[in-house]
């Protein structure tokens, strides 16, 4: 199992959710977060680096079984990108997922996803 964490632009949220549904990935958590990537200018004031402004972003968290990892990533890349790709389009992180428990049934592992 993997946890896919994607940071995307706000205006792409509905398009990404719709594309994931079409790819049979229907379980998702969505958070409004803020962050900065590598372009956000680091100004120097009186010889000291100043943290850049935070920009609003959307964080998606999707826990999937192994066979859905690639399709989830490809779907997010295709649906979250502006045109052929713009600075700030976002990023995807994939981490191993140790366990998943469906609270209602106490199922564990892949069948609980």
Ligand X SMILES: Nc1ncnc2c1ncn2[C@@H]1O[C@H](COP(=O)(O)OP(=O)(O)OP(=O)(O)O)[C@@H](O)[C@H]1O
| Residues lying near Mg ion in the complex (CB under 5 A) | 37, 39, 88
| Residue 45 β-bridge partners | 48
Name residues whose C-beta falls within 8 Å of residue 88's C-beta, 6 or more positions apart in sequence.
9, 37, 39, 55
The distance of closest approach from Cβ of residue 48 to ligand X in the complex, given in angstroms and rounded to an integer, is 22
Which one of Mg ion, ligand X, none is in contact with 61 (Cβ closer than 5 to 8 A by kind)? Answer: none
Q: Which segments within 36-96 are labelled E, that is strand?
A: 43-45, 48-50, 55-64, 90-96
DSSP 78: H
Sites for ligand X among residues 8-67 (CB under 6 A): 35-39, 55, 57
Q: Give 85 or 96: the residue with its C-beta nearer to Mg ion.
A: 85
* Binder among 82, 91, 102, 108 for ligand X (CB under 6 A): 91
Q: Give 52 or 109: the residue with its C-beta nearer to Mg ion.
A: 52
């Amino acid at each position: 199992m993997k946890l896919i964490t994607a940071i995307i632009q706000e205006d792409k949220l509905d398009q990404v959710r719709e594309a994931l549904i079409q790819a049979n990935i229907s379980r998702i958590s969505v958070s409004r977060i803020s962050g900065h990537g590598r372009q956000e200018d680091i100004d120097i004031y009186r010889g000291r680096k100043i943290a850049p402004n935070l920009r609003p972003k959307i964080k998606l968290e999707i826990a999937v079984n192994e066979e859905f990892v690639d399709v989830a990533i490809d779907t997010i890349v295709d649906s979250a990108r502006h045109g052929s790709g713009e600075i700030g389009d976002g990023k995807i992180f994939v981490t191993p997922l140790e366990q998943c428990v469906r609270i209602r049934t106490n199922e564990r592992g892949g069948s609980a996803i």
